[in-house]
Copies of this chain bind each other. A is one copy, B any other.
């Protein structure tokens, strides 16, 4: 960087950049405590507010986290979930009674917390996707997924309430192979999928539900499952802790 640009950079940014370099160089590893405000004040000859701004900049980037009364720590990234978007939906997985989710954890111990099944008027976008009239009743299944006891995803699944009435899809336990196996039982086997991926900052409710520290976005995955004749049978809206996931899609050129 030319020294002109360096001069124009505010002091707190220069301190933040120096701390970032030290983190990148491994001088401070994941979980390590950074120097305190007073130490930065002494080292760089700056006011407390400037030291705080430097920490705030690193926090906004999600590189460090402040722990109340204890200081500022290099963030420990927990990524560990490699979600193979296409392969995980192989019929062999759910057809054999397996859990799609278990495939993401790669030997770790993923857990599913069932948050309930209910009937509700469909949100407009869901009704449109499922080809139902506005306000049609849908079955809503909510689950939260945890890895090493930390929540990493909340998933809300919507299905036609009339189609799935009286099936295990209306029960907390949808049985071996889950709802895709039950849809297959009904002659509505899902064979084609569309996933839409977005990212944004979480709402306070989402940050709460996933235990997100500040500077952590959510990834939204909206999956629609289609039968062979092109009918949408399920819409699944997932909210993921962005720091916990890599989404992978591997495919042949069409």
Roughly how many angstroms separate A191 CA and B215 CA in the complex, as a whole number? 37
A248 proximity list for chain B (CB < 8 A) = 194-197
Roughly how many angstroms separate A90 CA and B252 CA in the complex, as a whole number? 9
A193 proximity list for chain B (CB < 8 A) = 250-253
Encode contact with B along A225-254: 1 for CB under 8 Å, 0 otherwise: 000000000000000001101111111111
A85 interface residue per 8 A CB criterion: yes
Report the interface size class on chain A.
35 or more
> Which of B57, B91, B194, B197 is the one whose CB lies under 8 Å from A197?
B197
> Which of B13, B190, B194 is the one whose CB lies under 8 Å from A204?
B13
Roughly how many angstroms separate A202 CA and B87 CA in the complex, as a whole number? 30
Q: Is the CB of A85 within 8 A of B249?
A: yes
Roughly how many angstroms separate A86 CA and B86 CA in the complex, as a whole number? 11
Q: Is the CB of A252 within 8 A of B191?
A: yes
Min CB gap A232→B, angstroms? 12
